[in-house]
């Protein structure tokens, strides 16, 4: 078992009825009724996901262009979703995440309404679709319900963005609180409600201030930050500050805040984020695929920020490749190896990701959620690897059993039904079967609108 990145043999984990670790004892001999595991990592949290972007995988990578061209295809995919299709796609996406080793996901969700901005007959239909998908599969979900009010600084929502908006900060807050009542309290933390501000482009400072004041203090808050140079230029032109500077002026930079991407930062930005103890969620495979750039991860960590990881557009769903991408970006930018040691990479995927989502730290200590991932050490990729270096050699193909809340929910790429998880899924159901079905339904739906100018997701 890797505990804080250190190989520790013979660890016995005891799990309480609440799905949390009640005992962690090293140097133990197994008892007859124990579930025996091999090499185990703490469960990993995908701290930034847009599940519906999975519809674009393998269809947008060879056309050239940049982020701004890609977002047009994203708007078209969003326009084909309704609660049923969203549920099917999210269920398939969450299943893929689970068998690949993500045990929790923070879904940065802004598809609130119909494409024309009107509501569905069932209140919170899109949000409830995500919750149902997560519960059925067995992954932990933190629904990062997102406020999205503008199509860019000083611009109204474009037609392709109308489904995202709630009219005002007050309108979003009213819907957020209502959604919380509808979801209800979940003491098991299987489905919980967080919050997100889309970006400084999509939410004016006064609205951000209102949102932050209207949220309970313990709720985790996420925001896209400085993903593109254009965002910085527009923000400086309008407010005379960088996006980080705007957040600092609002008092938003606190330990409960997670900033996503943070690719194009000034030195002062790095200092502000680090001094606040905020989390930076980096998405290396997406940032590479979209040509976003390489963020200053090492400098941010040295300044005091926590680094977490996410799959973002889900072109790649593999926590180990996100870890490797974080280190590879640093090596390419610096010309040095070992910028993040394997223990730090594992902490980014597990401890820091869980903390970012308000799920505790998941360091395999008593009181932590019992979420675990078993890795093969005998595959063509991992045989011969020192256990501590598995984050630099293994991939999702090496994930064997996945445990969430103390129960095995996936085994060798297949979902395992348990009480309260995957209850309506056949035990032999593969994520690829779910994906095939969901994508076929989405492809059969004609686009309901065309995207026009506006800001990216």
Bridge partners of 45? 104
| CB hemisphere CA count around 81 (13 angstroms) | 31
Burial 423-455 (b: 16+ CB within 10 A, else e): eebeeebebeebbeebbeebeeeeeebebeebb
Dihedral of alpha carbons 214, 218, 222, 226, sign: positive
Catalytic residues: 261, 312
Token code pair at residue 89: 């796609």
């Amino acid at each position: 078992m890797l505990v804080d990145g250190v190989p520790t043999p013979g660890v016995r984990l005891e799990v309480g009825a609440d799905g949390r670790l009640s005992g962690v004892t090293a140097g133990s001999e197994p008892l007859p009724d124990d579930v025996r595991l091999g090499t185990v990592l703490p469960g990993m949290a995908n701290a930034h996901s847009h599940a519906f972007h999975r519809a674009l995988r393998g269809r947008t990578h060879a056309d050239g262009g940049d982020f701004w061209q890609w977002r047009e295809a994203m708007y078209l995919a969003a326009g084909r979703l309704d609660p049923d299709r969203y549920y099917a796609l999210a269920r398939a996406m969450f299943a893929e995440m689970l068998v690949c080793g993500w045990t929790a996901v923070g879904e940065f969700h802004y598809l609130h309404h119909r494409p024309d901005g009107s509501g569905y007959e069932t209140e919170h239909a899109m949000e409830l679709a995500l919750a149902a998908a997560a519960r059925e599969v067995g992954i932990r979900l933190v629904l990062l319900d997102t406020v999205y009010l503008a199509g860019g600084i000083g611009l109204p929502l474009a037609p392709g963005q109308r489904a995202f908006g709630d009219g005002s900060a007050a309108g979003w807050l009213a819907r957020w609180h209502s959604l919380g009542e509808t979801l209800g309290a979940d003491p098991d933390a299987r489905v919980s409600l967080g919050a997100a501000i889309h970006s400084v482009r999509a939410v004016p400072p006064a609205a951000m201030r209102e949102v932050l004041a209207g949220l309970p203090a313990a709720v985790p808050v996420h925001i896209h930050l400085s993903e593109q140079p254009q965002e910085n230029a527009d923000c400086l032109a309008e407010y005379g500050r960088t996006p980080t500077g705007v957040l600092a002026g609002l008092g938003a930079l606190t330990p409960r805040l997670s900033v996503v991407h943070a690719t194009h930062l000034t030195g002062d930005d790095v200092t502000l984020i680090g001094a606040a103890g905020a989390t930076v969620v980096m998405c290396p495979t997406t940032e590479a695929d979209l040509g976003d750039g390489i963020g200053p991860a090492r400098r941010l960590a040295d300044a005091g920020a926590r680094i977490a990881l996410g799959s973002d557009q889900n072109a790649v769903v593999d926590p180990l490749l996100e870890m490797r991408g974080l280190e590879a970006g640093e090596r390419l930018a610096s010309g040095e190896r070992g910028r993040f040691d394997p223990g730090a990479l594992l902490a980014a995927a597990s401890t820091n990701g869980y903390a970012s989502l308000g799920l505790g730290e998941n360091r395999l200590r008593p009181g932590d959620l019992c979420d675990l991932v078993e890795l093969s050490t005998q595959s063509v990729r991992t045989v011969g690897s020192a256990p501590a270096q598995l984050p630099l050699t293994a991939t999702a193909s090496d994930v064997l059993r996945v445990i969430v809340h103390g129960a095995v929910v996936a085994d060798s790429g297949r979902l395992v039904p348990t009480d309260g998880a995957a209850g309506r899924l056949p035990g032999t159901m593969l994520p690829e079967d779910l994906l095939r079905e969901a994508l076929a339904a989405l492809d059969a739906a004609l686009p309901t609108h065309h995207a026009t100018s506006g800001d990216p997701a």
